[in-house]
Structure 1
Amino acid sequence: MKIIEENIFVNVGSFGDSKQFHEILNQIRVAISCVTWSSTNEFIIRPERRGNGVVPIKENFIRHLVDNNWRSEVRMSMAEGMNPGKIDLVRATDFGKFAVEWETGNISSSHRAMNKIAVGIIQGALIGGILVLPVRNLSQYLTDRIGNYEEFTPYLPLYKNLIIRSGVIGIIAIEHDKESMDSQLIPKGKDGNAKKDDL
């Protein structure tokens, strides 16, 4: 898998300039490069419209970060009355916890993921977070209505105008390396009810 764009659109306070944040970014970049299909070192997708599943795509990404001291499937404590669900990955830093969400749902799911990150920062549960999204050129071959970068970007002004003391929020847009009709379709399925830790 390759990165098309890194968009850090909220950067308040000293965390964004810290060594730990740059380490986090590098770990995420490497983890994305570990996402492969039909190859040991590339992501080759069968270009069949809406033909490929999404859940198996992020398995190597999660595995790489867990091997580098991230926690997966973490449930975050939020304001009363809110049940935001789990966060894909969380890493502790000296500044606070940092979250990563890998999008496997529709655009509403993308907004929920970003809202979890934003509210987490506002409430002090997180110091930052990144949402990993496919670009439209990839999402067209995935499950119907999967959220994509181009569809989400018009809403960025909402998050850019958050009033926070410290925090970093960004999106990383990803795309397949190659297309081939010889590549197998990625299986479709649903997330399981994995055991979740508390944040």
Structure 2
Amino acid sequence: MKIDKEFTLFAKGNFTQSLDFKIIKEEIHSAIQHVVWGSENLFLINPIRKGNGVVPIKKNFVSFLQSKGWLAEQQMTCVNGINPAPIDVIKKISQGVFAVEWETGNISSSHRALNKIAVGIIQNSLIGGILILPKRSLAQFLTDRIGNYEEISPYFTLYQHLDIQNGFIGIIAVNYDEINTEVSIIPKGKDGNAMK
């Protein structure tokens, strides 16, 4: 899988100058490259509108990060007053906890993920986070109404105006390497829009 777009919503304080942050970014980039389908080293997509599932896509991503010491599906309270919720992957470092969410839900889920990261930084539960989601060119071939980069990008200005002294929020938009009508369709889940 390839990174199509990378956008920094904000990067403030000394965290983004640290070796930990440099390693985090390198590991995330490598993990995305390990997301493959229908090939040993490429992510191929069968171009059936709304035909492919989303959950299996992040499997290799999460597995790669776990091999680097990241923790998957960790229950943690990022926002005071809200029960602990699982985060796709986190890395504990000297300055705190860094979270990564890989979008498998609709655009409301994308907003919740960014809000959780932002409030987590404000309340010192997190030092930073990244949301990974598809570009619209990929999303059209995935589960109906999957959150995508173009749909959430108009809201970026909100996060750029947060008054935070130290932390990072970023967005990575991913895309297929190639279209291939012969490749297997990615299986769908059993709930909600996944069946559509």
TM-score by length of 1: 0.93
Residue segments in structure 2 that go unaligned for 5+ positions in a row: 192-196
**Contact 1:104/1:146 (8 A) holds in 2:** yes
Secondary structure class of the residue paired with 2:118: helix
Please tell me the residue identity of whatever aligns with 1:45.
I
CA distance in 2, matches of 1:116, 1:67: 25
Distance in structure 1 (CA, Å) of the matches to 2:74 and 2:162: 24
Q: Who is 1:32 aligned against? A: 32
Alignment of 1:38-187 (within 5 A): 38-77=38-77, 78-80=79-81, 82-83=82-83, 85-187=85-187
Whichever residue aligns with residue 50 of structure 1, its letter is K
Which stretches in structure 1 are left out of the alignment for 5+ residues? 192-199
Give the 4+ runs in structure 1 shifted more than 4 A: none
CA change 1:150–1:174 in 2 (3 A) is same
Total equivalences in the alignment: 190
- CA RMSD between the two structures: 1.1
Q: How far apart, CA to CA, are the structure 1 residues paired with 2:143 and 2:40?
A: 23
Aligned 8 A contact 1:75 1:86 in 2: yes
Q: State the Cα deviation string for residues 13-56 of structure 1 (Å, max 9, x = none).
A: 01111111011000000000000000010000000000000000
> In the alignment, residue 23 of structure 1 is paired with which amino acid?
I
Percent of counterpart pairs with the same letter? 55
TM-score, normalised relative to structure 2: 0.94
CA shift, 1:85, in A, is 2.2
CA distance, structure 2, for counterparts of residue 179 and residue 32 of structure 1: 18
